[in-house]
Amino acid sequence: MSYQILTAAELVEQCCNNDSRAWEEFIRRFQRPIALMIVRVMRRWGMYSPTVIDDLLQETYFLLCANEYTLLRGLLKKRPDSVEFMLRVIAANVTHDYLRAKTAKKRGRDYQQIDDPDHFLMENALVEDGATRIEAEIQLDQIDRLLQAPPNSATVHRDRAIFWMYFQSGMTAQAISEIPSIRLSAKGVESSIHRTLEYIRGCFKIKRR
């Protein structure tokens, strides 16, 4: 079975059957949007911690798998056509709950859960590095498809994650390098971003200004 051709709903169904290869594809396909939502919510609260990001990723996965995948099974029944959207909602609420518990006493305020995370996400790719811009009409999904199959396939998933954390979430190279799973120095992150930008420019024939 080729898991990459499965729809999101079909993939989740296989995950609920304890299929390890399905989970590998699930992580490949959905870890970026889940992680980006966690970062978005944290930044909205004015907080950031690479260790907490990793912890909240694990907490989100734990919640999805708990009680024999009750949450995932419910998602299939209620929103089979909106899997990624609902995963982002779940990640946002996990993060929101953590931050609310951490800061509510200090701030003396009450916060509501996020039901619609889409307003946090960029609708278009607007990429700048001081020398060039990828025009806004180039959609995020077009760029993301390119990033899933660049020449250096050995680091494709890492470089893709770095690119989106830098340009979509506004994280610095230093902040990205502090995430344990990245395993690069700040200079290494900058090199990854540079390579990815050059690759995208080449694909879209965008010249430096």
Q: Output the DSSP codes for 18-66.
A: T-HHHHHHHHHHHHHHHHHHHHHHHHHTT---HHHHHHHHHHHHHHHHH
Q: Residue 33 and residue 15: Cα distance in Å, rounded?
A: 18
Q: How far apart are CA 164 and CA 160, in angstroms?
A: 6
> Would you state the pLDDT for residue 173?
83
3-state secondary structure of 124: strand
Lookup result for tokens 């859960």: 113
For the beta carbon of residue 13, count every other beta carbon within 10 angstroms.
18
157 CB-near residues (< 8 Å, 6+ apart)? 28
List domains and CATH numbers for the chain.
3-120 (1.10.1740.10), 127-204 (1.10.10)
Alpha helices in the chain (DSSP H): 8-15, 20-44, 50-78, 83-107, 140-147, 156-167, 173-177, 186-204
Whole-number pLDDT of residue 103: 67
Q: What pLDDT score does 112 carry?
A: 41
Place of tokens 């180039």: 138
Q: For the chain, how far is it from start to end, CA to CA, in angstroms?
A: 46
Are 37 and 91 spatial neighbours (Cβ–Cβ below 8 Å)? yes
pLDDT tens digits for 117-174? 433 333 333 333 333 333 333 456 677 777 777 666 678 878 888 887 777 656 678 8
Q: Give me the tens of pLDDT residue by residue for the chain, a chain 209 residues long.
A: 789 999 999 999 999 999 999 999 999 999 999 998 898 888 877 788 888 999 999 999 998 998 889 888 888 887 788 888 889 888 888 888 888 777 655 544 444 444 444 333 333 333 333 333 333 334 566 777 777 776 666 788 788 888 877 776 566 788 888 887 788 999 999 999 888 888 888 887 655 54
